[in-house]
Amino acid sequence: MSDVSPDEAAPEGEGPAEEAPTIGLTDKMVRKIEAALDDGNLRKVEKRLARLHSADVADLLERLNKDDRETVVDIIRPQLQVDAEILTHLDEDVREQIFERLEPAEIAGAMVGLDSDDALDLIEDLDDEDREEILASMPAAERLQVEQGLTFPEDSAGRLMQREFVAVPMFWTVGKSIDYLRTAEDLPDDFYALFAVDPSYKPVGTAVLSRVLRSKRSVKIDTLISEDIHPVPATMDQEEVAFLFRQYGLVSAPVVDEAGRLIGVITVDDVVNVIDEEAEEDLLKLGGVSEDDIYRDVIDTTRSRMMWLGVNLVTAILASAVIALFESTIEAIVALAVLMPIVASMGGNAGTQSLTVAVRALAMKELTTSNAGRVVGKEVLVGALNGLLFALVAGGATWLWSGNVELSAVIGAAMIVNLVVAGFSGAIIPLALEKLGIDPAVASGVVLTTVTDVIGFFAFLGLAALVLL
């Protein structure tokens, strides 16, 4: 008799275990699985895992500690051979840890059940030695597809594309095309359109399945195709691919080689992943983090963050050097030391606002050389208006605190100068870095911080030296 009832095997509020898998992993479900793991009740864990969607199993593996994760991997070993989608949903660092638990033949067997693009994604970031071991365990046909995919540049359309697609000659009829779809054995599991190709295998249009299925058998495919297609070169960067999909509302796009021949297809689900990855990458870079390291150990995380902290230390020393130039001024008027951080902080925050908008606009191709002048001018004007407003606020607060009108005027003037410079710098720095071939998301923050700190301190202390001494 089973030790787990149907209701117990399913999360609270769900039906019995034989129903369709649940969608969404709750904290309560995770706690129950962790409790079962602590009790050593692996049968209960297995029943709960069977009810989860592959993406939720991947989420569960990411949330568990290392020991529990290894136990769950051992439980789902057989499942990975028929439901390798679990591996595709995992964070890269967690997936690498799980691969260390699996044999190369097990990983290869899992990859065989995936679409070519997903299979390539699983091993493209592995060490050469590990990759070769896995490839050696794969059947020849699947191995060849993966190896061909690895020849394309990293983050290119060739790495992103799926090699399983449906292409028919443009002169075929609907009837012949349907007969082909019913009998061919090497078709993808899921597809939504047919690519019509000319005799040289170049794509000339797309026929969506809904139109094909509603047409009579005698109708020719070339009368159903949409010629508004956007062939993607295999070497195109994945960010450019994502822009094409977003710009033209594409669901799929053919990928072509240098001769323009059809070699693959990119679908919108792949592009959604790209958009998510690129947005995450830019966000992390703006924070001075090279990549997501939440699942890495302490030493690796420390090492990955060390470089940018070192750069920040250098820029902080530069700002301190500016302060040192006015040491005698600060000694004479101690209140300056109290007020200095206000000017620098306001400039830094204002600059970050402009910088964030500019980096995002560059990524979305909304900021170009044609409208750069207008965008930079707008940011300068916004900085000036905010500078005037907060000059009044800061100046008034300083006057109430110190009773010194001249000191109030100095901080107000410095506030205006720094916010104007911050608005200008926040917009112009990403543009300049992009022109120099440097990723704006990586270096803009450090450069901006240096500019706003140096200008803020110099303006405030310089004006103080001129007016107050």
Domain that holds residue 240: 167-267
Domain assignment of residue 162, yes or no: no
pLDDT at 161: 92
Work out the burial of residue 283: count CB atoms within 10 Å of its CB; fewer than 13 is exposed, 13-18 middle, 19 or more buried: middle
226 and 139 share one domain? no
Domain assignment of residue 443, yes or no: yes
State the Cα–Cα distance between residues 225 and 198, nearest whole angstrom: 13
Query: What digits encode the pLDDT tens for the residues 87-128?
Result: 888 888 888 888 888 888 888 888 887 888 888 888 888 888
pLDDT at 371: 87
**DSSP for 178-246, written as a single string:** HHHHHH-SS--SS--EEEEE-TT--EEEEEEHHHHHHS-TTSBGGGT-B-----EETTSBHHHHHHHHH
State the Cα–Cα distance between residues 437 and 54, nearest whole angstrom: 40
251 and 381 share one domain? no
**pTM for this structure?**
0.65
129 pLDDT tier (thresholds 50, 70, 90): confident
Helix or strand (DSSP H, E) at 262: strand 262-267
State the Cα–Cα distance between residues 318 and 12, nearest whole angstrom: 59
Tell me, what CATH number does 139's domain have? 1.25.60.10
Q: Which of 98, 123, 152 is the last residue of a domain?
A: 152
Helix or strand (DSSP H, E) at 165: none
238 and 344 share one domain? no
Report helix, strand or coil for 4.
coil
Query: What digits encode the pLDDT tens for the residues 20-57?
Result: 455 678 889 999 999 999 999 999 998 988 888 888 99
Share of the chain above pLDDT 70, in %: 90
| CB < 8 Å & 24+ apart, contacts of 254-260 | 254/165, 254/195, 254/203, 254/206, 254/229, 255/157, 255/158, 255/161, 255/231, 256/202, 256/203, 256/231, 256/232, 258/233, 258/234, 259/200, 260/200, 260/202, 260/231
Domain assignment of residue 286, yes or no: no
260 and 198 share one domain? yes
311 and 387 share one domain? yes
Share of the chain above pLDDT 90, in %: 31
Give the type of residue at 399.
W
245 and 351 share one domain? no
Domain assignment of residue 329, yes or no: yes
Q: Which of 94, 119, 152 is the last residue of a domain?
A: 152
117 and 24 share one domain? yes
321 and 256 share one domain? no
Token readout for 128 is 């050469």
Average pLDDT over residues 210-214: 91
Tell me, what CATH number does 222's domain have? 3.10.580.10
How many domains does the chain divide into? 3
Tell me, what CATH number does 396's domain have? 1.10.357.20
Please say if the pLDDT value at position 343 is more than 60. Answer: yes
Domain assignment of residue 336, yes or no: yes
13 and 145 share one domain? yes
The candidate with the shortest Cα–Cα distance to 100, out of 58, 146, 133, is 133
212 and 137 share one domain? no
Domain assignment of residue 285, yes or no: no
Angle in degrees, 0-180, between the axes of helices 405-435 and 372-402, rounded to the nearest 10: 160
What average pLDDT is seen over the chain?
Answer: 84
173 and 105 share one domain? no
Domain assignment of residue 278, yes or no: no
Q: Which of 126, 152, 178 is the last residue of a domain?
A: 152
Token readout for 256 is 């072509």
333 and 258 share one domain? no
Domain assignment of residue 247, yes or no: yes
